[in-house]
Amino acid sequence: MIGAMVAVIATLASVVAYLFKRYERRDDRREKLIAEEREAMDKERATWALEREKLRADHETKRAELSDEYANALREEHKLARDHEDEVRAEFAGMMERVAAEAAKSSSALVEMLQKFYDRFVGPRRNY
């Protein structure tokens, strides 16, 4: 019976050793597969990072160009508005000068007319 027990223990020990080695090989293959997947993912992430940087650089360049265009358009619009405002001011000043001249002419005509009425109805002024 001792011989059978030794045989059963030896068989169990060999089965455990076989299963342990098989588990180790499977674990090694899984780790190797995971490492390969991680390496592929790292390469892909590096590619994505390069693409992102390129896109970011392109975006920054376009944004800077658009910003410059907008600033130039704003300056041009401001300059045109100032020029228009200066023209309007000059035109208004001319109109006011004409109105002032017309008012002076009208005022002098009114003074003349009132002087004539005064001379006619009150008489000339006497100097004593």
| Maximum C-alpha span of the chain | 174
Give the model confidence (pLDDT) of 3-52 as tens digits.
899 999 999 999 999 999 999 999 999 999 999 999 999 999 999 999 99
Using a pLDDT cut of 70, give the percent of the chain over it: 96
Q: What is the mean pLDDT of residues 100-118?
A: 91
pLDDT given at position 126: 65
Query: Is pLDDT at 127 greater than 80 in this prediction?
Result: no
- How far apart CA 105 and CA 107 sit, in angstroms, is 5
Kindly report the average pLDDT of the chain as a whole number. Answer: 93
pLDDT band at 115 (very low <50, low <70, confident <90, very high): confident
pLDDT of residue 57: 97
Q: Which residue has the tokens 């011989």?
A: 3
Domain ranges of the chain: 1-123
For residue 125, the model assigns a pLDDT of 65
The structure tokens 């020029």 sit at: 83
What is the spatial distance between Cα 81 and Cα 71, in angstroms, rounded to a whole number?
15
| pLDDT level of residue 96 (50, 70, 90 thresholds) | very high
d(C-alpha 36, C-alpha 110), whole Å: 107
Q: Between the CA of residue 75 and those of 5, 70, 88, what are the distances in Å?
A: 101, 9, 20
